[in-house]
Chains A and B, each alone.
Chain A
Amino acid sequence: GAVVSQHPSWVICKSGTSVKIECRSLDFQATTMFWYRQFPKQSLMLMATSNEGSKATYEQGVEKDKFLINHASLTLSTLTVTSAHPEDSSFYICSARDWNQPQHFGDGTRLSIL
């Protein structure tokens, strides 16, 4: 149980394009979803928290216009990196949780901007 699917697993795109990453909870309803960024050999850095049907809460220093988050249903959240540039290249990981349960993570998306 508690499976979180993240898609795509790897994407390469040109600078200036927008990229959408999907995060789905497959066997539970995710009241809250989280988006993280992870640099090589470092721990996870929380970018934003989203509750279904509400605006996402962004961490300090994360540009909300750059990283658009939508949590339209209890099983789906999306992260769109707008006008991506090489410095946005990173490993993006989502997690999801139901009320009073621990977070379960997706397998991450490796984003490479050329």
Chain B
Amino acid sequence: QKEVEQDPGPLSVPEGAIVSLNCTYSNSAFQYFMWYRQYSRKGPELLMYTYSSGNKEDGRFTAQVDKSSKYISLFIRDSQPSDSATYLCAMSASGGSNYKLTFGKGTLLTVNP
């Protein structure tokens, strides 16, 4: 079993839809959870950063972490064509100096106008 599982999609939705992206993980030591957005031929851009369980909202984006289920989600409200990208979940056990990220494989999202 891989440490982080993420459905690669592709996921195609109409403009204005609510998008739900998810990752599951097996390592109970993970405490820091991130969502990155990556456009084609660009580096990943940090969207959300959360510590431990709970919800975090930033504009149209909401991140949820359920450590008891080892499940994290990213919701995008009122999706726009500019949201079309690959979304990577990432997580880490430590926030210290040498912490490493474990990534999901990424979900390719297309928002159709």
Bound-state Cα–Cα, A108 to B41, Å:
8
A93 interface residue per 8 A CB criterion: yes
Contact B103 A99 (CB under 8 A): no
Minimum CB–CB distance from B49 to chain A (whole Å) comes to 5
- Docked complex Cα distance between A4 and B36 (Å): 15
Chain A residues with Cβ under 8 A from B41's Cβ? 91, 108, 110
A89 to chain B, nearest CB (A): 14
* Contact string against A for B residues 69-113, beta-carbon threshold 8 Å, 1 for contact and 0 otherwise: 000000000000000000010000001111011011110000000
Number of B residues near A (Cβ < 8 Å) is 21
The interface size of chain A toward B, counting residues with CB under 8 Å, comes to: 26
Contacts of A51 in B (CB 8 A): 97-98
Dominant SS among interface residues on chain B: loop
List the 7 closest A-B pairs by CB distance, nearest first. A105-B43, A102-B49, A43-B103, A107-B43, A108-B43, A105-B44, A93-B43
> Which of B32, B88, B105 contacts A102 (CB under 8 A)?
B32
User: 4 additional contacts, CB 8 Å, given A6-B43, A49-B98, A49-B100?
Assistant: A4-B43, A43-B105, A43-B106, A102-B46
Q: Give A104 to B103 CA distance when docked, in angstroms.
A: 14
- In the bound complex, do residue B105 and residue A42 qualify as a contact, i.e. CB atoms below 8 Å apart? yes
